[in-house]
A and B are shown apart, each in its own frame.
Chain A
Amino acid sequence: MKNYDQLIFEISQEGRIGYRLSQFEDDNTNIDNIIPKELRRQDELNLPECSENQVARHYTLISNKNFGVDTGFYPLGSCTMKYNPKINEEIAGLSKFSRLHPYQPVETVQGALELMYNLNTMLSEITGMDEFTLQPAAGAHGELTGLMIIKAYHQKNGDYNRTKIIVPDSAHGTNPSSAHVAGFDVVEVKSNRNGEVDIESLKSVLGDDIAGLMLTNPNTLGLFEKNIEEIAKLVHEAGGLLYYDGANTNAIMGKTRPGDMGFDVVHLNLHKTFSTPHGGGGPGSGPVGVKKNLIEFLPVPIVEKEKETYNLNYDKPNSIGKIKGYYGNFGILVRAYAYIQTMGGEGLKKATETAVLNANYMQKKLKEYYHLPVDHICKHEFVLGGLKGDLNEVTTLDIAKRLLDYGYHPPTIYFPLIIDSAIMIEPTETESLETIDGFIETMIKISKDAEENPELVKNAPLNTPVKRVDEVQAARKPILKWEKDS
């Protein structure tokens, strides 16, 4: 099955159909009479012609060449690949959620608005913020939204000189990129060897041109920024605001809150912390929470409650405007809501505690065989620095590819950039000790193979639907679509 190697276009035959529409006869609406020829397409369509069952088999067969959380362990650092509960899918699929038109009269969507209103309250409680917008479609989109809010805040204060955003060199790539898209200049500050913000470097760049600082806590090494209060104080004293990249929220639920650490703006990734599926790259959802003094800048509309009725309020003169069509990825909000209902406050804390316990256990087990650049209690993830010793030039990439042969999704590799040959491991709370032990054994075995049989590791993977893929050729001569004669 894994050798199935056809594109949908290659199984197409002229004259086949996969779907029949109902018949419609009306003599007065001949196409030629209603839309003139010059407004219609002349180029022939080349969509495939397949029967329904062929389409079913085709996509089932290619799905077999995919690896998901339901397939196996997926310790992809900073991505929080936890289990995606099935009840969440069932609820999101209810037609009274999935078949709502965004412009229906509000009196017909009171349940949907109630859900959004309550979710806002729950996320505010979890993060210690005062109000959320649920509009951003993803984490990076949340970052952009948050930065727009920071800019709007400074501009309302007449502070047009604040054109710079500070980003640590250990940050996720989206941070500097979002700052740039938001029209800021990026000032990079060095991290100390624990990946923490270096206070002296921070002081040296703070000034009246700084709009804010973007930070992940725990940071991308999985370590808690112990100096966070001092950092917050310094940034605030300089007139800047603090932005919390919520990618690592699975490390802190019920333990501490960004709002209490001093952050002004926060985004969450519902597709990480709150168990909604990644879908092969999306859809995600990246709600943004703010402190009181920034509420006026949130995107419109805001869901409001008056007595027992929910409404959409567009009348917010200081709002940054709309950052997405309609109200956000509602279907994802429904899933996150169901998840929070299942877990409750104590369950979320338990998820965090278990994720952190799992990570520390793995870290201690693996540090005998792999470099551990910072040996410290970690939070929900940790970063190894490749194999110990220079073992026959076996690289981090080779290790990752060899893991594929054993049925594991590899960890995040070569990130964060501040660690050489980084292997970033995030087990999450939804894996059993047996699974974790199995993975550890495999990692140890690979470290031994690297010593004894390096070619085996360098040639990996051997058991996957395709072998190591030539990315260089893909970029040099881009083939981005199928063509009839290619």
Chain B
Amino acid sequence: MYPYIPNTKKDEEKMLSFLGIDSVEELFSDIPKSIRLDRELDLDPSKSEEEVRKTMKDMAKKNLSADDYTCFLGAGSYDHTIPSIVPHLISRSEFYTSYTPYQAEISQGTLQAIFEFQTMIADITGMYASNASMYDGPTATAEAALLAAAQKKGNTVIISKTVHPEVREVVKTYMKIRDINVIEIDAKDGVTDFGQLESNLSKDTVGVIVQNPNFYGIVEDYTEVEKVTHDNKALLIMNVDPISLGMLKTPGEYGADIAVGEGQPLGNSLNFGGPYLGFMATTKKLMRKMPGRIVGQTVDKDGKRAFTLTLQAREQHIRREKATSNICSNQALNALAATIFMAVLGKNGLTQMAEQTAQKAYYAYNKLIETGKFKPVFQKPFFREFVLESEIEVERLNKELLKHNILGGYSIERDYPLQKNQILLCVTEKRTKEEIDYLVKVMEEII
């Protein structure tokens, strides 16, 4: 017997007898003999719960987590505070054991939560409308590029090299299969090379993708980029960090057409890279072109406010090959975590978190510069991350930091081979002054 299979031997016999057969094997008689598996699957034997716990805890023990180390690593995945209430509420099984809310009458919980999510994402991005979430930040960006390509004549997407390398990789994979060209614009002094961008814009450009704060942590000014992009009738796609929107100029204020981003920092664990959630928000004009699920407000038969999946005429289960996207799942539970996170932080909390993150990042930066052993690579305002250069290789530096229980920074050289010995350090509001002081002390001693 298995704990998740309630049928008893007696139940089985009852059912078999009703079906008029002797063995369940007869129900598989339609599978040709030549392709039947005539042996048992070669897997570990069934384990008790306690054995499963033991086996998997032993495996987990081979990892060292951000609880074992002090994390100064970012690069797209961030160790921000997660209020205790977030994991508690998303663990309600009414939420996590439900399916996509096709049956609106018994799914108002999920539907309302997504409606609140859409409201909050539209609010923080300054855009008109948001969808119900996407797989993650990189795929949301790729989907935005596909949206631009479907919307505009032309066959080229421009992307700044200050966009996260993984985002660029995913965009390139998605564009390649559709034979859409991707032009990458170099970084100059840590920001998008405006001259190069301008000279590459053409009638063939459907969209321009930029990131704020960019991969180096720098807060770029996209005022001019917006102007030339729209002068060329291309769409401006901004990949933004949701925590930073507590204080930074929004895609809406810049006049972007599509805002996308990685929603992980909003109350979702690091999870070794997933599950996370992507978000996408657009102008009113593009609202009906968005991929994925969208929830709308309506009324029930008695005129009572109700929520439902809407604009489904865009979707794969209705339009099949003519759908705007093949997306079926969203990341509803991760979006719920993000919603509860934004609800409990509230308008002042998100701003405070953003400001304190920037302040602590600057505090760490100033202290590290003061040691005289690290020099800044760029002279630009930044939000949560900054790049420093030293005499030694980043890998060596990180190895030493690890010995002091510090998870060090990201090696810029990994994606930009010419930039040697440059480390991207990340400081969130979660890091204490003591932790930062200790980082500075250790880093100073290493060199």
Contact = CB atoms under 8 A, between A and B. Distances in A.
A31 B270 contact: no
Chain A CB within 10 Å — which of B19, B42, B94, B274 has the most?
A: B274
Given A7-B112, A253-B41, A325 B94 contact: no
Interface string A243-281: 000000000111111001100000000010001011111
A108 B327 contact: no
Contacts of B348: 17, 49
B320 interface: yes
B447 interface: no
Interface string A470-481: 110111001111
B392 interface: no
A69 interface: yes
Contacts of A48: 343, 346-347
A181 B85 CA distance: 39
Nearest to B328: A140
Contact of A326 (B274, B300, B310): B274
A111 B40 contact: no
B27 A180 contact: no
Given A341-B47, A344-B44, A400-B103, A327 B272 contact: yes
B398 A105 contact: yes
Interface string B375-397: 00000010100000000000000
B374 interface: no
B426 to A, nearest CB: 10
Interface string A302-315: 00000000000000
Interface string A456-483: 0001010011111111011100111110
Given A43-B252, A277-B97, A320-B173, A112 B106 contact: no
Contact of B381 (A39, A58, A141): A39
Given A254-B37, A409-B106, A478 B343 contact: no
A301 to B, nearest CB: 11
Given A85-B4, A254-B41, A326 B273 contact: yes
Contact of B46 (A39, A70, A126, A343): A343
B443 interface: no
Interface stretch (B192-200, B203-211, B230-238, B290-298): B290-298
B329 A138 contact: yes
A179 B41 contact: no
A95 interface: yes
B122 interface: yes
B155 interface: no
B362 to A, nearest CB: 4
B250 interface: yes
Interface stretch (A169-177, A197-205, A234-242, A442-450): A169-177
The number of chain A residues touching the other chain, given as a range, is 35 or more
Contacts of A46: 123, 347
B187 interface: no
B89 interface: yes
B358 interface: yes
A346 B46 contact: yes
Contacts of A186: 320-321
Given A55-B85, A330-B273, A431-B6, A404 B349 contact: no
A340 interface: yes
A182 interface: yes
Given A43-B250, A87-B49, A180-B322, A101 B316 contact: no
B98 A68 contact: yes
B418 interface: no
A120 interface: no
Interface stretch (A71-79, A288-296, A367-375, A388-396): A71-79
A255 B252 CA distance: 55
A361 B19 contact: yes
Contacts of A140: 316, 326-329
Contacts of B332: 279-283
Nearest to A271: B329
A332 B61 CA distance: 19
A40 B248 CA distance: 4
A354 interface: yes
A-B residue pairs, 8 tightest by C-beta: A326-B273, A279-B333, A66-B109, A345-B41, A111-B62, A344-B46, A68-B97, A102-B273
30 contacts: A7-B112, A19-B349, A24-B359, A55-B89, A59-B113, A84-B96, A94-B57, A97-B271, A99-B270, A102-B77, A111-B63, A122-B43, A126-B41, A144-B326, A173-B317, A226-B31, A256-B37, A278-B99, A281-B132, A285-B275, A325-B76, A325-B276, A329-B271, A337-B56, A342-B49, A351-B4, A429-B7, A465-B106, A470-B306, A474-B297
Given A102-B77, A138-B328, 5 more contacts: A43-B126, A180-B326, A347-B2, A353-B27, A467-B300
